[in-house]
Structures are given as structure tokens and as C-alpha cells.
Amino acid sequence: MASHDFEKELEEALEVPALALEESIAFVEKEEKVIFDKKPLKLAEEYWQTLGPGLTTGAADDNPSGIATYSQAGAQYGLQLIWTALFTYPFMATVQEMCARIGIVSGQGLAANIRKYYSAPALYMATALLFFANTLNIAADLGAMAAASRLLLPAVGFGLFVAFFAFISLWLQIFTTYARYAKYLKYLTFALLSYVVVAFAVHLNWSEVLYHTLVPSLKFSKEQLFLLCAVLGTTISPYLFFWQTSQEVEEDILRGETSIAARRAQVTPQVLKNMRTDVWSGMAFSNLVAFFIFAACAGTLYTHGITNIATADQAAQALRPFGEFAYVLFTLGIVGTGLLAVPVFAGSTAYAISESFGWKYGLYRKLKQAYAFYGIIIVSVLLGLAANFIHLDPIRALIYAAVANGVIAPIILFFVVRLSGNRQVMREHTNGPLAAFMGWATIVVMTISGVAAIVSLFW
């Protein structure tokens, strides 16, 4: 009897863990299914969270100057220069990665590092060139936004639109954080994806598109050399170098790392990995948009004999497969990228000058905490506003602004490559052999194109 009771108790005792084990296995299988089902969405969410200054910088690079330059290249030469969208990507991404790494590892902006490791005249020269190029870009972008808006509201005067956009840009940058409103403005830049739809709608010969993308061609005429410099200049632009570096610093400050020492101490392999994902993704988006602007304009404007874009109306014709919505999409794209880019131009100038003279700076500060910094932003935008009242041709100004960037870029790039390869600045995070090669190669390419553009003016 005792033996029978013992066997029964043993059987019941063993039954509990067996049931628990079965329940555990069922629960794990259920959870695994849930995790598996959510994994793509989770990965997408994590990827989106990783994107930050790199994506914003890439989106700002497709500003009205870029749209006008790519449109003119596609209209004037068809697919002949579309290879630049692929060619510039690794150079652009490598340079922006260097800038971001300088900001993260040094804990300071680009101008602050130039000030610390180079002579004052070198810094002042770089800052003066940046101020000139950025003021021209602000003027051109404000004019382009006004010209595009008049396509929808022709009764409103050009000057009124220019003043309105200048005021909006200043108000948003001074009285709200750039990061906050850039988050919403980025959605306006999605209007640029309409060029993707157009490129597929006009029945391009995609084997020909692929050929011209992979096989570079150049006529070496003065017009094409000038336009090539504009394409390179609007893609690899000096203002992006200063902006990217300073935004990485601002990101750290927002996370509570308010001292340079604290920012330098937080550098980890994961931080650098996330930064590279952000930068290369942002530059990929920028160049992909450029590629489809080339293709869309080649398939619409070039094939219909519109080879010289002189007005916003002609530029908008690239989107005419959308019919009556062409002007709406064009205006949204120009205004969205303009409102995204003008604060970047003004902000990068303010960062550079403030860091050069050791003034308080940063968009995370309030106006009363950094009067000089915000004063530079105000002066930059007001000068750009004033330039539009001296009969500035909006479309030509955009292309000349791009050329100015191309001429000035090699000078600023010299400091970027040297600083990112300096062990005193970067510690163990200096450029690798490939990055160093790409950096110096970018300087050579940009220098040649800049010299060629200047020569073409007197050819």
C-alpha cells in the first residue's frame, strides 16, 4: 500500500514539471512567432531611429540650387551627365563621414578645430569664403522659392514672396529648434520623389540610362565644364561640411554631454557605426533624387527641345506628365527643400564665424544666450533677401551658386582631410587608407573642376 502511494505521488510530482515544460515550449513558440512577425517592422523602426544629422544634411543637399543644376544638366545634355549621380556618391559620403567623425571624436565643430590646429589667417580665409558662398546660396534659394510660388499664385509679387520666406526661415530657426521643424519639412522633400515617377512614366530607354550611368562621358566644351563644376559643387558643398560636424556636436549636447571632455569620452564603436549608417543613407537619398531629376529632365525637357532652363515655368515642365499638378509638385519640392536648406546655409555660417572667434553658439541655445550666433544668421538671411532686389535671375543665380560651392570646396576639404587624419584630434579614429585616398582624390577632382569652370568663363 505504501509502495503504491509512493508511486502515485512520484507520478504526480513528475507530471507538474512536464506540464510546465510543455506550457513553456508553447509560450516560447508563440513569442518566437510574434517576434518573427514583427522583426521587419522592428528593424525598420530601429533603422529610422538611427537616422539623424546625416539624413537631414542629405535632404538639405537637394536644395533649389541642386534641383536647378540637375534639371539644367538633364535638359541641356540629356543622359550624358547622369553618371555624376553615381560617381559623386562615394566621394560625398566619405567626406561627410569624415566631418561627422571629427565632430563626434573631437567634441567640437569644424571651425573650432581649424582654429585650434591651424593659423588664424587660414581660418579667416575659409570662413570668409564660406560666408560668400552661403550668402549667394541663400539669395538664390529665396529667389527660387518665390519664383516657384508665383506659378501657383501669380498675383502675389515676387518681392513679397521673397520677404515672406526669409521671415519664415528666420522665425523657425530662432524661435524653434531646427531639429524640430526639419522633422516635418523632410516630408515636403518627398515631393522630389515625383521625379522618380516621371522617369518611369516617360518610357526612357533604361539600358541607355544604365550605360550612361556606368560609363562617364564628357565633351570638354566650356558650357559642359562649367555645368559639371556646378553639379559637383551642389553635391559636395562646403556648407555641408560645417553643418554636419556641428550637428553631431549638438546631438551629443542634447543627450546631456555639455562639455568637450564628456563628448570625447562617449565615443564608442556603436556610436561610430550608427553615424556611418546615418551618413551613407542620407547621401544615398540625396544622390538617388539627383539621379532621377537627371533622368526625368532628359526624358521630358531634352526630348522636347527645351535645352536651356531660364524660368521656373520651364523647370516645372519636367513634371508635366502629372498634368495640372506639375506646378504644385514643383513648388512643394522647391519650397520644402528651400526652407530646409536656407537655415543650413545660415546656420553653417554662424557656426563657422562663432567658433572662429570663440563666441557662444548652438541652435540648442536661446536667442538671449547667443546673440552673436543668431545675429550672424539674421545678417546672412537679410543679405540674401537684399540680393533679390538687384534684379537677380533666380535660375541663373542657383547655378552660379553651385559653381561658387565647387570652386571653394577644395580649400575647405583640405582642412577636413587633414583634421580627420590627425591622431592628435582623432586619437585612434583617424582615416583608414581608403578614406584618406578618397578624401585626397575628392580634393583633386574638385580642384580640377573648379579651375576648369573659371577658365571656361574666359574661354
Residue with the bigger pLDDT between 147 and 362: it is 147
Q: Does residue 394 have a pLDDT over 90?
A: no
Summarize the chain as % helix, strand, coil (round to 5). Answer: 80, 0, 20
Name, in order, each residue with C-beta under 8 angstroms of 304's C-beta and a sequence gap of 6 or more. 317
d(CA 118, CA 40): 48
CB 402 within 8 A of CB 234: yes
Quote the pLDDT of residue 205.
Answer: 92
HSE-up (13 A, CA, CB side) for residue 218: 15
Quote the pLDDT of residue 70.
Answer: 93
d(CA 354, CA 345): 14
Q: Angle formed by the axes of helices 2-50 and 269-299, to 10°?
A: 50
d(CA 93, CA 116): 25
Q: Does residue 14 have a pLDDT over 50?
A: no
Q: Does residue 6 have a pLDDT over 50?
A: no
* pLDDT bucket at 114, cuts 50 / 70 / 90: very high
* pLDDT bucket at 120, cuts 50 / 70 / 90: confident
* pLDDT bucket at 10, cuts 50 / 70 / 90: very low
Q: What is the mean pLDDT of the chain?
A: 85
Q: Does residue 379 have a pLDDT over 80?
A: yes
Quote the pLDDT of residue 19.
Answer: 47
Residue with the bigger pLDDT between 261 and 224: it is 224
CB 67 within 8 A of CB 347: no
Quote the pLDDT of residue 201.
Answer: 86
* pLDDT bucket at 144, cuts 50 / 70 / 90: very high
Q: Does residue 239 have a pLDDT over 60?
A: yes
What global pTM score does this model have? 0.84
d(CA 315, CA 64): 11
Lowest mean pLDDT among 6-15, 230-239, 304-313, 334-343: 6-15
Q: Does residue 93 have a pLDDT over 90?
A: yes
Give the C-alpha distances (Å, rounded to integers) separating 38 from 24, 182, 369. Answer: 21, 29, 45
Q: Which three cell numbers stand for residue 432?
A: 583608414
Q: Does residue 431 have a pLDDT over 90?
A: yes
DSSP states along 181-244:
HHHHHHHHGGGGGHHHHHHHHTT--HHHHHHHHHS------HHHHHHHHHHHHHHS-HHHHHHH
Strand (E) or helix (H) holding 457? helix 433-457
- To the nearest whole percent, how much of the chain has pLDDT over 70? 86
Lowest mean pLDDT among 258-272, 291-305, 306-320, 396-410: 258-272
b/e per residue, 393-426, with b = 16+ CB within 10 A?
ebbebbbbbbbbbbbbbbbbbbbbbbbbbbeebb
**Exposed / middle / buried, residue 6 (Cβ in 10 Å: 0-12, 13-18, 19+):** exposed
Q: pLDDT tens across 15-44, in order?
A: 544 444 455 555 445 544 544 555 677 777
Among 376, 327, 348, 379, residue whose Cα is nearest residue 139: 379
CB 456 within 8 A of CB 225: yes
Go through the domains of the chain in sequence order and give each one's CATH number.
51-457 (1.20.1740.10)
